[in-house]
Structure 1
């Protein structure tokens, strides 16, 4: 009996040790037991990879990668991690009638435009076998028909989030975060294109009007964040500009005592109403950091706390129309972004000395008349209720 008991004891001990080893291996593979980390990244300035995209006759026929964050910025991605991503992209329809300055062939129909965020095996990855979806498709129809022609439309994909399953097979070891774009209409013909960015009267294309952002929580799910939010607008009126833009702060959020290593996930929304104005209006907006709640300037300490010099999102815009379109009155302004803090916000930020100072996250906008009646002195869009600006603030201890 003693020999038998001793053998059973050794077997039990070996079984326990084996289970411990297996658990350690599994835990190591999934990231369990490691300190949780967060890495936020962006595609940065001049993110657009293409100037135009052929309009297909059905969804998915001409899908392209519009923007991409490279692996060196995204960082490592593992099963069990949670991915968050958001993006903005401005697109423009081209001429209604044939003209020498048209980008491609003219068309009068209103094309559908879709966007989707994915992990990709390369900067060109777009198919299911080479990607892992972070978001679903988001769609709008950019109106061409007068008098409610959008011409410029902004597609925003805010708040996409997905946790990678423990047994999920990813298409990449070093992954890109790609924004796929797709445009189509049943009446499309060869040579008819959608512009990624804006086209001017002389046919030139301007870009740097959007970017992609990504956050990788290793492992997921994300920890609780300090949520800062403001629902009090700085103004209820957005003046219709004359010859030069009259930029105003619509919402402002105080960010006290920012510290190096902190990371922020940002979201904002406002509603602008044309009211009785006899014309459509181009509305342009941007998220910035500033030293004051009513300032439209990225200067001083606000330009020194991040590598983006106080720029959180790019300036882009759309035509807000009185009738049915992708952006009908009342028009929703939606912004999204992420930010990594690289220096403490102090009176002398570059030197790292002096008392801590607040930085303000400002939603800035401007508008001008684009089609319809004549602009009059004192004209303004009204800012409606229900808007906000908010930041999910994650501590420096999560920095990789």
Structure 2
């Protein structure tokens, strides 16, 4: 079974022009989800899209890009899937059920929300699949990430990731996992897994582990699905209030609002240096409203608390006006709920602004995160502020070696190269 048939940078599609690669990124999740609903086979859906992309690479340079590239790919991929089913004479029951090109009968109801991609997420997040496989499969099928990109995100060899994806899809087939949003009584047990996957898909777009530093197609899709999920929850009274759904959406919106100012001249711009006039005010306002609604329920959760941290940052007209004491208090609550080294690292960044970089460095040095580039980057900035230039340079080198994309490496290299002969320079360690 193929796990990379539709990769724009591998196999027969290696010569695709930039325009086709852009369409691939934008339409991959939509086309695969539609084909999966129609044929009930993830491998067939991916392979058919891969074949359609080959046809597009041949025809579009001659005929021009069609007005609706996604619909064109869906139609051609549908033909390819039907041809394969006929040619191989397999899965006869699926062939009999497959809609023919001239069949306009609407599909049977498949859940409370008529959205193919949200159903695909729920399929990828079935409890029968391991958590790591759920995220990897969603990134592959919904986000269109290549196997090498996903492998880089997980720090595993490409062959290992390819095998993991293949096994996950095989398990879906063997277990007969339905391609639908689960019934209302099963939603609660799936909800946490879906939230976790959407959060990680968003993060991959917010700060890519490889390749592009920012992928707004991924962040935008994660936000769209979070909105759909929120609407689904609101239309399912038996679930009751689910403030973590609102919290995740708020977190995404408040983070996405900063996107226009996060990259400049090929380098990341840290939060303290961003031009706040370029932040998207409508997303900030919506995120703040959601955070206030969550606070009114009094049931704090990890996503709500992270959203509240971002609300504090986006409420400040200037970095110097940030209420760092409130940020530390929010991280204290988050650390109690989710006592992970990464949360502790983020808390230490805020502590540096309240109690100084020396206190924060003591907290950071206790964390076992030496394979995490942000840990080295935070140490480097704290050491820089303390005037420990040689140690800071070494830490920057370690961060650059582990960073996943060029824009981040450019930012870190600029900070390293700006180190003087031992005098501390102003600045704050902050996530861009």
- Of Structure 1 and Structure 2, the greater helix share is in 2
TM-score by length of 2: 0.21
Q: Bigger radius of gyration, 1 or 2?
A: 1
Which protein has greater RCO, CA pairs closer than 8 Å, 6+ apart? Answer: 1
Per the normalisation by structure 1, the TM-score is 0.23
